[in-house]
Structure 1
Amino acid sequence: MFHLLDIKKHDDGISFDQTVDVKAQLLARDPDIIDVDSVHVVGNISFDSGLYLLNYDLTYRLVLPSSRSMEPVAFDNQLFISEVFIEEQDVASKKELVEDDLVLILEGDSVNLEDSVVDNILLNIPLRVLTEAELENEDLPSGESWSVLTEDQYQALQEEKKVENNPFSALNGLFED
């Protein structure tokens, strides 16, 4: 957590290089997350023309359930985060930035790095998580009278149905002599 007065005192901003423990916050906000560790941030926060600029590299290891089998899948991720904050009393003077959602409005007298880290990890959770075996094997789950299809397989199936349902398909080959 960085207090706004401390940020304003440093012309070059405040640099940081730390490991943060955000596991409890992440698990509380997304119950699908199995585990998170090695959350490391390196960056700088500074003040310029009424704006607080937060820039940092975020690296972490996240464990999520597989999209197909629900088996735990661990993967490492690295992100560069750049956020701009503004104090509530300065909103009127920077109204165009607020309306275009280019700045975040600060509530209180500090910028919370952990909240930023948690939000950015949650925003970057992939929709498709597969184990190594699932990545190598193209077979999708299926059962009695159902199966999962890729989009390409679905499109091919739709094309086949169009040909089969064509009322003129019975006339095919009639005039080949």
Structure 2
Amino acid sequence: MFHITEIKKNQSPITFDKKLDIKELLLNRDDSIIDVKDVRAKGQISYEDNLFLLNYDLDYLIVLPSSRSMEPVELTEHILVSEVFSEDKEVSSDEAISEELVLPIESDTISLEDSVVDNILLNIPLKVLTKKEEETDELPSGESWSVLTEEQYQSQKLQKKKDTNPFNALEGLFDDN
């Protein structure tokens, strides 16, 4: 947590290297996360031209369920984060806020923990696979169901359309045999 007055007082950027325990915060916001460990934010925060600049490297290990089998998958992630904050009401009502280029400061502090949680949640991949699942194209299936890729689905749909075409019976009728 950085106090705005402390940031403004320093002429040079405030550097930090923090290990964070934010597992509970993450699990409260996204219950699909199994675990998160070794969260480390290393960077600096500074004040220039009525804007607070927060830049840091974020490293962490996150455990998510596989998209196919729901087995736990460990992912080591590295993210470069750059955020701009403003306490100025004029800038706050500007289109920069509406486009999320500048974040408003709602209290007298900037929370590193909130920034880290938000950035981890924004960077959760949609496709998470175990090493075995990455090596094969085999998709899960059951007794009367199976998972298809988009290409397989489109191909199956096209074949079904051909099979139900009423003019299929006329095919080959006028061949030159």
| TM-score interval, normalised by the smaller of the two chains | over 0.9
Query: Is 2:150 aligned against 1:155?
Result: no
Closer, same or farther in 2 for the Cα pair 1:97/1:91, shift >3 Å?
farther
Supply the AA of the counterpart residue of 1:50: N
Mapped to 1, the partners of 2:153 and 2:95 lie a distance apart of: 45
- The equivalent residue for 2:121 is 122
The runs of 5 or more residues in structure 1 that have no matched partner are: none
8 A contact 1:91–1:98 mirrored in 2: no
- The equivalent residue for 1:91 is 89
Mapped to 1, the partners of 2:170 and 2:58 lie a distance apart of: 64
Range that drifts further, 149-158 or 134-143:
134-143
What's the offset of the Cα at 1:93? 4.5
Q: Deviations over 1:107-150 (max 9, x none)?
A: 11111101100111011111221111111122211122211100
Within 5 Å, give how 1:10-29 maps onto structure 2.
Answer: 10-29=10-29
Closer, same or farther in 2 for the Cα pair 1:16/1:91, shift >3 Å?
same
What's the offset of the Cα at 1:100? 2.9
> SS of 2:90's equivalent?
coil
What's the offset of the Cα at 1:101? 2.4
**Percent of aligned positions that are identical:** 57
Supply the AA of the counterpart residue of 1:148: V
Closer, same or farther in 2 for the Cα pair 1:93/1:160, shift >3 Å?
closer
Q: Deviations over 1:56-115 (max 9, x none)?
A: 11111000111222211101111111111111xx12255232233221111111111011
The runs of 5 or more residues in structure 2 that have no matched partner are: none
Mapped to 1, the partners of 2:23 and 2:34 lie a distance apart of: 10
The two structures, once aligned, show a CA RMSD in angstroms of 1.4
- The equivalent residue for 1:36 is 36
> SS of 2:166's equivalent?
coil
8 A contact 2:91–2:97 mirrored in 1: no
TM-score computed with the length of structure 2 as normaliser? 0.93
- The equivalent residue for 1:7 is 7
Closer, same or farther in 2 for the Cα pair 1:130/1:93, shift >3 Å?
closer
